[in-house]
Structure 1
Amino acid sequence: MLADGGSRGLLRKTFGELGLLSLSAFLFAFSFPSFISVDGLWPLVFIALIPIVPVIHRCSWAAAPFYGAFYGFLSYAVFNYWLTTFHPLAIFIVPVIYAVYFLILFPALKAVDLFFPRYAYWIQAVVWVGYEYLRTQGFLGYPYGNLGYALYKVLPLIQISELTGVWGVSFLIALIGFFLGHALLFTFEYDASFFVSLKVWFSRRKAALAVCSVLLVGTLIFGFVVMRGSYDDQRPWKVALIQHNADTWKGGLPTYRRNLRTMIALSDRALAADEPEAVIWSETAFVPGVDWHSRYRTDSERYALVEELRNYLADKSVPFILGNDDGQKADPGLPPVLSDGRLNRVDYNAVLLYENGKLRQTYRKTHLVPFTEHFPYKKLFPGFYQLLVDHNYHFWEKGTEYTVFETDNGVHFSTPICFEDVFGYLSRRFVRNGADVIVNLTNDSWSGSVAAQMQHMGMAVFRAVELRRSVIRSSNSGMTCTINPDGRLTGMLEPFAEDYYIGSVPIYAERNTLYYHWGDWFPLVMLSLGLVLLLVGGVRKIVLRKS
């Protein structure tokens, strides 16, 4: 009977803890744009981490990795639900990756809880930011879901990004969440009513409460002060953004031809309606390689379509910026078609600048999407590589140059492609190379989801604030918009609509931010501090046990 009772008690405890983790996962996911709200329910992010704290505190060391894997998988399966429309493999791969990440993170958070019980919430927030930074690095780098991005619409709270990057906003959110989580844990363990227990907790943590309050209020004051500035006196750049509302990769040559004529029609309407200084199409808006077919003409039908585009651009004095599959010779010393019939060709996801009918400059994407655009472990995992190939994933070559385009009227801009704009370091590199405006060309139509497009756009807001540069987004289906250097959305097209938008952004380059100069210094400090504290806490625990 005792054994049965113990088993039932353990089962209830386990299901209770899984319930708390599920609550946290849903709060996290719904803080961002989701199928519940396409704008996101941002206040939820401040309480999303609260249910994690009692689970981490009460679970065994053996259970911590299991709970971490459960939480990582569930939170990202809900948060990235739209990956199901991209490919069934994607919705499996991403949550599994995060199951592994949290399998490691939860024991680290538990170690902090054990080593530093009085100051755990501070150090857990530090460790969390270190985790967010690490998971954006390398081949699997993926910044979607960094806590700070949930606040893309709360402009006063995100202006500190010019100092710390998005990481400072994530730290503030994590600190509040873990602080309140430990308050909740205290109410579970203190022998009094819920509100009496909370009162006792806060009375014992007056200094910490004061510091948290100062950080929050100080962040708001800084934000309001910075946002008092105006960009009305800056030189505006008027652009026409073309949203043709079609997935450019579907349908082959008939689709490419139809899409081209749609974009030409929309561009002509925009040029007739106003006098934009540039016309911007989206990522791979035109698929057949313009440079390749102009040089080598290995496909007569695609060459004819390229000529149609070039003839259209020939008499246009306004610059055209367009995404293209840029084919180049793999071996410059060999002919374009090899003796066995194969093309001597590699492909880049590229942006072309056409001005006065001539191809002026090209940017080739440097940070490719893992698995779907790039898989460098073909020899190590040949079976998995073949699985990706069999599922029609399109692999590109990586570009090497961080191009800054310049138009005849003196506008300097760079063009991160697709999800390149979710990496702060990339936009920073472009700006340090001389870009005054960030122009993101993307194709998010495959998601079939407004929420997915809003998640992507929300991260672009932080690039504007971090570097105090205007951001332009030209998407084939949304979110096509303009963003001021303070993160304000100044205009946006309806998603999944065939339309054009003419908007102006200020060319502002008068002040360079701390993030411009120091980059990701804040998460590096958090990561280093977290590792040192975990090491010191572990050594201290071992010494105390032996003494």
Structure 2
Amino acid sequence: MTISRARLILLACASGLLYPLSFPAFDLGAVAWFALVPLHIAVEYLSPGRAFRIGWLSGTLAFTGSMFWVITAMNVYGKVPFPIATLVMLLLTIYLGLYMAVYAGGLSWIRTTFPTLGFLPAPFLWVTLELIRTYFLSGLPWALFGYSQYQWLPIIQLADHFGVYGVSFLLVLVNAALAETMIWGFKAYRGFQIRSFPWPSSVAATAGFGVALFYGTTLLSSAQHAPTRTLSVGVVQPNVEQAQKWDVAFRQETMARYDRLTAGLGDNLDLIVWPEAATPFVFEMEPQYRAVVNDMARRAGAPLLFGSPALRRHPDGRPFLLNSAYLLATDGQILGRYDKQHLVPFGEYIPFHNSFLFFLDKLVEGIGDFEAGPGSTLLMFKPREKNPPTVTAATLTDFHVKFGVVICYEVIFPNLVRQFAANGADFMVTVTNDAWFGPSSAPYQHFGMVVFRAVENHVAFARAANTGISGFIDPYGRVVQQSPIFTQEALRGTIAVSHQQTFYSQYGDLFAYACAILIALLCLTGYFSHDTEPAGGEPAGRPA
């Protein structure tokens, strides 16, 4: 059985257009459960080489729709000319489309080599490629398939064992089973001689979905009754325009805005959080403005966490910057500092700057000479005295809480956040400046990823954005409070303090690596024992 070139292209385009609809700000998460069905149907009728090309088309469309905001960030805020910004975005999405190309080509090869397996290897291959995308060339795990389900809390609870990759696995498993069932139906309708209904993939998808839903529903129900110690936290969203953020003439207004919003949080807070690069100056290098920040912390009566660049020097005297978050006590003492460890390529540094990308130094406005921090540093403070919900040996001692901070882009890396939880973080804070994204889907996509970091590690998150979304997320991914974007906000919330470690916190991406090992073994077996290209070239349709 064959299918026309035009229909194959339409099928590829269908998946490419459906994929971004499942992510914010479209938020049609239900679409993800069938978005890849057209691509799988196309793969059934193609050789690995042609499947690769069709997958590349589908993937390029999918990531262009998911990451169109790159043009806004580069053109409006980075001052890169629009044609160049568009070209950079297309180069990025063409690169990301390669992962879907490899998926389609690889799945076709596996189907040719192991026809009895059906589409069962599909989710293992997909997760393997998502894992590679997370780490290869600094990593860009944006728009991983599982993130599309950030609003469906019962389904995503399995991330506490398998990470976001587990949700991606389930989505692809269901897509593959639906596609295989449809292919079987097409062949049966046309009178082709086929063996039987594709039970293995259908049973696996139904069982996987059922177990995930049961586990998540049960976990959320039991979590409602678990006693927890809580903290009162305030977050400030000043909404300082990007063009004014580092304008010396606007410093007084910026600090006055922080002062007003911080005062509006009220009293009896355990912690106040300002966003990434909150101070429009280098905190340690400006005594006059440092005194202003110290005074705000004193009047607020709570430790203040805020972002500010830190200037350091190499042994040879060359200066460099750190993107830092300071924890300031009410008496002005610096209780700790976290330095961002995973920097943004083309935002905080230019990769290959000394070789073939030297010209970007004159094109991209605002790229600093930042360097990475040392690692997952925990910060610690003593909260206000109050009666704990349960009395234990721990609460009878001098109680301090430890927390981790991730700055902006870092929160999209599952293993990076996991390291804070594994090291004993009681809760997490993420600070960001999403003004770079403008009024696009990116702030909503960025916020949705924080939901998964909370679920994976069962830690609450407080999030402060220059403009956002700011808000609070509980240890099970429930959004307790969130702000609109491009507004001035002062949010006060209560977050849980817990020190339980999930399976994911302890073992990380074990599931994803297991998928990669299985795919590697399958490929090695197929390579050494099967001819990858059947005689006659194009397959005429495989048995269901």
The 5-angstrom pairing of residues 226-305 of structure 1 reads 226-228=219-221, 229-230=223-224, 233-248=227-242, 250=244, 252-271=247-266, 274-294=267-287, 304-305=288-289
Choose the corresponding residue for 1:441, options 408, 414, 431: 431
* Structure 2 residue identity aligned to 1:31: S
Residue 309 of structure 2 aligns with which residue? 325
The unaligned stretches of length 5 or more in structure 2 are 75-84, 384-399, 536-544
What is the TM-score with the length of structure 1 in the denominator? 0.86
* Structure 2 residue identity aligned to 1:349: N
Decide whether aligned partners of structure 1 residues 220 and 62 sit closer, same or farther in structure 2, where only a CA change above 3 A counts: closer
- 8 Å Cα contact 1:162/1:466 also seen in 2: yes
The 5-angstrom pairing of residues 15-26 of structure 1 reads 15-26=6-17
Residue 323 of structure 2 aligns with which residue? 349
Residue 81 of structure 1 aligns with which residue? 68
Residues 5-30 of structure 1 show CA distances to partners (whole Å, capped at 9, x for unaligned) of xxxxx9x9333222111110111100
In structure 2, distance between residues paired with 1:248 and 1:280: 20
* Structure 1 residue identity aligned to 2:308: N
In structure 2, distance between residues paired with 1:442 and 1:374: 17
- 8 Å Cα contact 2:278/2:308 also seen in 1: yes
In structure 1, distance between residues paired with 2:273 and 2:513: 36
- 8 Å Cα contact 2:320/2:369 also seen in 1: no
More moved, 62-71 vs 173-182: 62-71
Decide whether aligned partners of structure 1 residues 256 and 94 sit closer, same or farther in structure 2, where only a CA change above 3 A counts: farther
SS in structure 2 at match of 1:453: helix
In structure 1, distance between residues paired with 2:471 and 2:129: 31
What is the TM-score with the length of structure 2 in the denominator? 0.87
- 8 Å Cα contact 1:69/1:102 also seen in 2: yes
SS in structure 1 at match of 2:277: coil
- 8 Å Cα contact 1:232/1:506 also seen in 2: no
In structure 1, distance between residues paired with 2:66 and 2:232: 35
Q: Is 1:28 matched up with 2:19? A: yes
In structure 1, distance between residues paired with 2:327 and 2:151: 32
* Structure 2 residue identity aligned to 1:427: V
In structure 2, distance between residues paired with 1:201 and 1:287: 69
* Structure 1 residue identity aligned to 2:10: G
In structure 1, distance between residues paired with 2:424 and 2:154: 27
In structure 2, distance between residues paired with 1:545 and 1:315: 76
- 8 Å Cα contact 1:279/1:321 also seen in 2: yes
Residues 187-210 of structure 1 show CA distances to partners (whole Å, capped at 9, x for unaligned) of 3434449xxx9xx99962334423
Residues 248-294 of structure 1 show CA distances to partners (whole Å, capped at 9, x for unaligned) of 564521234322221111001113xx422111111111131111334
The unaligned stretches of length 5 or more in structure 1 are 1-9, 295-303, 335-343
Q: Size of the alignment, in residue pairs?
A: 503
In structure 2, distance between residues paired with 1:418 and 1:249: 19
Residue 293 of structure 2 aligns with which residue? 309
SS in structure 2 at match of 1:542: coil
Q: Is 1:497 matched up with 2:487? A: yes
Displacement, 1:73? 1.5
Q: Is 1:368 matched up with 2:348? A: no
The 5-angstrom pairing of residues 450-469 of structure 1 reads 451-469=441-459
SS in structure 1 at match of 2:137: coil
Displacement, 1:363? 0.5
* Structure 1 residue identity aligned to 2:405: T
- 8 Å Cα contact 2:54/2:101 also seen in 1: yes
* Structure 2 residue identity aligned to 1:283: E
Residue 299 of structure 1 aligns with which residue? none
Decide whether aligned partners of structure 1 residues 65 and 388 sit closer, same or farther in structure 2, where only a CA change above 3 A counts: farther
Decide whether aligned partners of structure 1 residues 408 and 249 sit closer, same or farther in structure 2, where only a CA change above 3 A counts: farther
Residue 523 of structure 2 aligns with which residue? 534
Residue 410 of structure 2 aligns with which residue? 420
Displacement, 1:134? 0.6
Choose the corresponding residue for 1:384, options 357, 361, 374: 357
Residue 55 of structure 2 aligns with which residue? 68
* Structure 2 residue identity aligned to 1:532: L
More moved, 322-331 vs 387-396: 387-396
* Structure 2 residue identity aligned to 1:466: E
Residues 103-152 of structure 1 show CA distances to partners (whole Å, capped at 9, x for unaligned) of 43332121112112232311011101100111000434112221111111
- 8 Å Cα contact 1:45/1:173 also seen in 2: yes
Decide whether aligned partners of structure 1 residues 231 and 345 sit closer, same or farther in structure 2, where only a CA change above 3 A counts: farther
Percentage identity across paired residues of the two chains: 24
- 8 Å Cα contact 2:240/2:466 also seen in 1: yes
Root mean square deviation of aligned Cα: 2.5
In structure 2, distance between residues paired with 1:217 and 1:226: 14
